[in-house]
Amino acid sequence: MEHLDDLERQEMWKAIQDALLNDHIDQFRAEFLELHPYDQARIFEEMDQEVRLQIYTYLSPEEIAEVMEHIDYEDIEPFFAEMDPRFAAQVFAEMSTDDAVDILNELDKEKVASFLTIMDDEAAEEIKDLLHYEEKTGGSIMTTEFVVVKAGMKIREAMLHLRKEAPDAETIYYTYVINEDKQLVGVISLRDLIISEEEWLISDVMNERVVSVSVGEDQEEIARMMRDYDFLALPVVDFQDHLLGIITVDDIMDVMEEEASDDYSKLAGISDVESTDENAFQSAKKRLPWLIILLFLGSFTASLIGRFEETLDKVAILAIFIPLIAGMAGNTGTQALAVAVRGIATGDIDKQGKWKMILKEAGTGLITGISCGLLITIIVYLWQSNFYLGLLVGLSVALTLVVATLAGSLVPIIMHRFNIDPAVASGPFITTINDIISILIYFGMATAFMNLLI
Ligand code: ATP
Ligand code: MG
């Protein structure tokens, strides 16, 4: 209910509850159905089970289907479990097939089979066909509710056909044109249909150069195409160009959200996507391997500092700047990493060229390095009244920022090159690598210019 303001929400909520409490079916329907299905779903989720059972008897499968389409797939199982199985099967049949398939994919196989047997044949067949496709491919996110016409139809016939098909179609904005063999040969937008003369043929006005995606195509790639071409829907074909389904832009928005959260979890060193309902042990099991590897790397960093013990003994003040320099390296590395991973994920890097991006990062590192280096030189000088110490810290920060920025962008690009998912070049790793680099630079220079410091 986040999108309705609080007062509205309270009033609506009260009216709906009153109606339910007093068994006023008509009043409940009037209040509830006036809301957008998104808001209906939010109210629905907050209800007690008892009340929801009451609601199932007040609303039709079609009306419940709309509510279900606006609930997260991961949270939906309990609702279908509490419905009468016959009612649940009807709800599935009323949903758009792509949404129904997404939800059924979350349930266990036996339950799915039992729903499909109760469902009417036509709906069951459509759903069964879609259940076969591999997860995260065009086939798994497409829907089969699209409108097709033949190239030889007159515009008038096509309009009549469209009018008849419209109630069940996922979108009516594009009508696809197929030949005798059901191969995709053209597309025509609603705008084009409306402005054409009734006597014209579809083949006269259709667009023959149709952009399509194949059923096996990765959903991330499809999202990219949708963005590049700006279409509201894309047709899905098999390898012989048979039209199998369409993917609409609203499905693509879900894909983008899913892929983004995938990438960010990996960035944070969390393998797979941790869902919020995992218990502490399950989460710990996923994160521990990473943390243990990082622990070893961290010990290596510590032993590295140990090697400069002699330098540290002579100039103990050096120690207080370790966290500062290592921290700056980590910060800039993570920034560069995030930019690189996003560029790889969106495909922008391939388009603009890796070298251009690396060069740009080097430039950024240089500018930020010189600025921060100068600043810290002045600060350390004023604070410790030791010019050479200030210079050392400043130079270290400057050099470290250049190298760390480069590392942050190079590591994911190299991983990508070797077909390792760049998002696993996670933040903690870059941070640790940059710790090592920064300490080497800092103590290396301190050791070399020792006589200036004492
Ligand atoms: P315009 O942007 O030109 O005003 P529009 O807003 O009516 O057109 P868009 O969604 O922008 O429609 O689609 C532009 C054109 O692209 C339409 O003429 C439509 O026929 C065509 N089109 C739609 N889908 C595809 C596709 N998959 N491949 C090629 N062309 C397509
Ligand atoms: Mg347009």
Q: Which helix (H) or strand (E) holds 132?
A: none
**Closest-lying ligand to the alpha carbon of 229?**
1
Tokens 């470290």 correspond to what residue?
A: 400
Q: Are strands 233-237 and 213-214 parallel, antiparallel or unpaired?
A: parallel
Instruction: Ligand 1, residue 173: give the atom nearest the CA.
Output: 10
How far does CA 177 lie from the centroid of its chain?
Answer: 32
- Can you say whether the dihedral through the CA atoms of 437, 443, 446, 448 is positive or negative? negative
Q: Does domain 148-260 have CATH number 1.10.10.370?
A: no
Tell me which residue has its CA closest to atom 4 in ligand 1: 191
By the 8 A CB rule, do 105 and 128 touch? no
Q: Is 246 helix (H, G, I), strand (E, B) or coil?
A: strand
Tell me which residue has its CA closest to atom 6 in ligand 1: 191
User: Residue 273 has what DSSP assignment?
Assistant: P
Interval between CA 185 and ligand 2 midpoint (Å): 21
pLDDT in tens, 60-100: 999 999 999 999 888 888 999 899 988 999 999 898 888 88
Tell me which residue has its CA closest to atom 9 in ligand 1: 231
Q: Are strands 174-178 and 148-150 parallel, antiparallel or unpaired?
A: parallel
Give the pLDDT band of residue 103 (cuts 50, 70, 90). confident
Domain boundaries, the chain: 6-136, 148-260, 280-453
Pocket-forming residues, ligand 1, beta carbon under 6 Å: 174, 187-189, 191-192, 207, 209-211, 231-232, 234-235
Interval between CA 358 and ligand 1 midpoint (Å): 37
Structure tokens at 97: 């097939």
CATH code given to domain 6-136: 1.25.60.10
The rounded percent of the chain whose pLDDT value lies above 90 is 41
Q: Does domain 280-453 have CATH number 1.10.357.20?
A: yes
Give the pLDDT band of residue 271 (cuts 50, 70, 90). low
Residue 386 is predicted with a pLDDT of: 87
Lowest mean pLDDT among 104-108, 238-242, 359-363: 104-108
Residue 266 burial (CB < 10 Å; 0-12/13-18/19+)? buried
Structure tokens at 257: 């959200």
The phi-psi region of residue 385 (left if phi > 0; otherwise alpha if psi is between -120 and 50; otherwise beta) is: left
By the 8 A CB rule, do 211 and 231 touch? yes
Cα separation, 452 vs 454, whole angstroms: 6
Q: What is the mean pLDDT of residues 378-392?
A: 91
Nearest to 237 by CA among 207, 214, 260, 266: 214
By the 8 A CB rule, do 406 and 358 touch? yes
Model pTM above 0.75: no
Residue 1 is predicted with a pLDDT of: 47
Mean pLDDT of the chain, nearest integer:
87
- Among 147, 229, 231, 234, name the best residue to mutate to test ligand 1's pocket (greatest count of ligand atoms within 8 A of Cβ): 231
Residue 423 is predicted with a pLDDT of: 66
Residue 119 is predicted with a pLDDT of: 86
Give the pLDDT band of residue 290 (cuts 50, 70, 90). confident
**Closest-lying ligand to the alpha carbon of 190?**
1
6-136 and 148-260 have identical folds = no
How far does CA 198 lie from the centroid of its chain?
Answer: 44
Interval between CA 162 and ligand 2 midpoint (Å): 20
pLDDT in tens, 330-371: 889 988 888 888 888 777 777 678 888 888 899 999 999 999
pLDDT in tens, 159-197: 999 999 999 899 999 999 999 999 999 999 999 999 999
- Among 207, 209, 212, 243, name the best residue to mutate to test ligand 1's pocket (greatest count of ligand atoms within 8 A of Cβ): 207
User: Residue 320 has what DSSP assignment?
Assistant: G
pLDDT over threshold 80, residue 301: yes
Residue 367 is predicted with a pLDDT of: 95
- Can you say whether the dihedral through the CA atoms of 349, 351, 357, 358 is positive or negative? positive
Cα separation, 17 vs 24, whole angstroms: 10
